[in-house]
A and B are shown apart, each in its own frame.
Chain A
């Protein structure tokens, strides 16, 4: 074949079974995402389940980023420290992930990108001159495609799959581009096949034909699809990582789904526009991250005061201030639950799976509309930037209900009612006029300073009465594992997968997991689960156990132990498992 693949000294086979952690590491702009996208698509065509998550620096070019692709028969969707196969695309790459390289890690790389000091096992280091081969084909740009070809062969994917995929993927780019990419992927495939046949590396993961029909989506897309299912028709936001993806996704779909897109001049404008849109009859949402949300807090207070529905997607990243823009954390729960001056009711959902992202976002619009309150979808960078493969999103399980009414002459926007919710009219629909006021107001929506009667009535309406209804509506936490637990691990949001997998690995009957997808208000049934445990352990991506504090203030429950991580990286399965092993 003209290219000399240098194999290690020994003929030992590296074998990987059932659950492979493949890491691609290199500089921004080197095409890591291209490898991720192409490889996962080709893997799916062959019936492999894949999940991928990326960690990256806050820069457009350079630096060092990495993506882990997990190909596993058990549908794993958590971050792993372990690296089975590493493809370093830059000389700095191995250093970036050095703590995760073990003697079992197979490294596929060209000589330049191998840091010999960091090699734990020379036998598992396979040198492939990606760039040289790429230059022969027509340019450096093809080296990533060659790598995809190598991997496709190692996964024993039929030879025509990668070429066919490349053909359709690059179809719009012209014949010459397609041809060269096909040449590259075929070259890679030949190399991979040779590696496999020389017994150098063996990968065996069971395939499942039903996976070919799976939905492949990111956390971001699950939120966007949920909003579309709810009939979102207005979004105003100011770009801020890692929340911007939802704005971009809805913008791409705006024409098909009749959505008004407004890139606001600032976050203050964004929420005030959202309020205006709901007032006039839209189903509106905003998407932002902690810092942007901080700017929205006065607007949130307006939402509370004028009893407007509002849906807010907050994708968390570590703070304070600018913090780590492209990293992950669960540091804004306390902020979201308490933000804004004055007192009023609200709801906070925290999806841990793309299914939850979809169904909770759709539900958020109905709850916001029905109770005329702000509803938060609290995610984080780890959740929104991960890519999942899931069997289905069942749209028929969702139902939209609009709660506004046609007004009559003499309509009162804040009519005092038994349950605290006044029928909501919108301007231009009916004979009444709709008055909303950020001042304390009368039932008509006009300014009042009646501190003896109306003020207490309005506070009770906005706060106590609605909160009571929302507690009754709160989603129960989900128990995962045996009901006869002694130890209960508590988690919320994106830590769902890592805790679930760590517990599966531990495989101990006395440990179960209580997963909260609604973090505020908390369903009272949670207390029954919590009290049943001898030991409770909470796992959170923050430094102060913010949800633990909420369990204390809301349920008067004290959690025994905390596993907290706040360096901007998600928990790995190994570290949760290790902590639980020691704690048990």
Chain B
């Protein structure tokens, strides 16, 4: 790995298993940040809990490692409070779609200008191998002993259905392309969602590196990401998983609607109480 301003000191103890897909994701995210010329002091990496959610700890930037499932909620508020910051949520499939499902839904609708990178290894790693919302039908675990009977959660289809601003799926088996799409997501204005397929070497012996390679393919160049119906159709196809940008919809984001920034672009920390106006308000209540 080349030296990078987002690198943590070499002695940093990384808590992932050897061979974990997270290492590659960490590498390409840091490269993407450098290539986009983002400054560490102006970047907030927000996460929840899980193996993926530890990623911010290995990036030298502002980090907000909050509660399991709640990173999106906090990230949305961080961005609203200071729109000058680049805010990226990086967390796993359990955090993003299980515990945090309601925040995923409602913040796509709210459309803050944040990027959501969801590591999707189709299993719970940190808690040692139970099913995740994205586990495949029939996947056997110590808890789902007869195999998973839920249909797998399809975050890409959901995000398109809710008209997310940017929806892509990448696989860490193709790092170069994955990095390019992550860069597009960060650059896109609005809620930008990237489903990142990755293997879990310890607890998912089905959806392996090889499996992801064999069971994914890129959307054709002719795919029109502005066509919502087509995007949804492709996202819900049975069989191999399509990769690439499914859907894009350029529209005003949450911060654009906030009256606080209409004339004054200062982030909130620079602002003070408006005491003269408060006195006028109080006096208006004298009748």
Contact = CB atoms under 8 A, between A and B. Distances in A.
B75 interface: yes
Nearest to A437: B65
B103 A280 contact: no
9 contacts: A234-B80, A260-B268, A262-B80, A279-B78, A281-B269, A395-B278, A427-B42, A433-B41, A436-B64
Interface string A283-308: 11000000000000011001000100
Contact of A276 (B57, B75, B274): B75
Interface residues of B, number: 55
A221 B258 CA distance: 23
A257 interface: yes
Interface in B172-223: none
A284 B287 CA distance: 30
A426 interface: yes
B268 A428 contact: no
Nearest to A439: B65
Nearest to A45: B287
A213 interface: yes
Interface string A225-267: 1001111011010000000000000000111111110101110
Given A216-B285, A260-B81, 17 more contacts: A233-B260, A253-B281, A257-B273, A257-B274, A260-B268, A262-B80, A269-B102, A272-B66, A272-B70, A276-B64, A280-B77, A282-B77, A284-B77, A430-B41, A432-B41, A435-B62, A438-B49
Nearest to A227: B273
Interface residues of A, number: 69
A393 interface: yes
A214 interface: yes
B285 A395 contact: no
Interface string A399-438: 0101010000000000000000000001111111111111
B76 interface: yes
B145 interface: no
Interface in B240-287: 258-260, 264, 267-269, 271-275, 277-279, 281-282, 285-287
A9 to B, nearest CB: 42
A276 B81 contact: yes
Interface of B: 15, 40-42, 44, 46, 49, 54, 57, 60-67, 70, 73-82, 84-85, 102-103, 105-107, 258-260, 264, 267-269, 271-275, 277-279, 281-282, 285-287
Nearest to B272: A231
Interface of A: 41, 44-45, 213-217, 221, 225, 228-231, 233-234, 236, 253-260, 262, 264-266, 268-269, 272-277, 279-284, 298-299, 302, 306, 393, 395, 400, 402, 404, 426-439, 445-447
Contacts of B106: 265, 269
A479 B78 CA distance: 44
B67 A225 contact: no
A233 B268 contact: yes
A270 B79 CA distance: 15
A95 B126 CA distance: 62
A276 B62 contact: no
Given A229-B278, A269-B106, A260 B269 contact: no
Contacts of B275: 229, 395
In the A-B complex, the 7 residue pairs with the closest CB atoms: A281-B269, A231-B273, A276-B74, A276-B77, A265-B106, A280-B81, A427-B62
A433 B269 contact: no
A269 B259 contact: no
Given A213-B286, A234-B268, A429-B269, A277 B63 contact: no
A433 B273 contact: no
A216 B269 CA distance: 32
Nearest to B15: A447
Contacts of A272: 66-67, 70, 73-74, 77
Contact of B63 (A217, A228, A275, A436): A436
B62 A434 contact: yes
A558 B283 CA distance: 45
A433 B38 CA distance: 14
A277 B80 CA distance: 8
Contacts of B74: 272-273, 275-276, 279
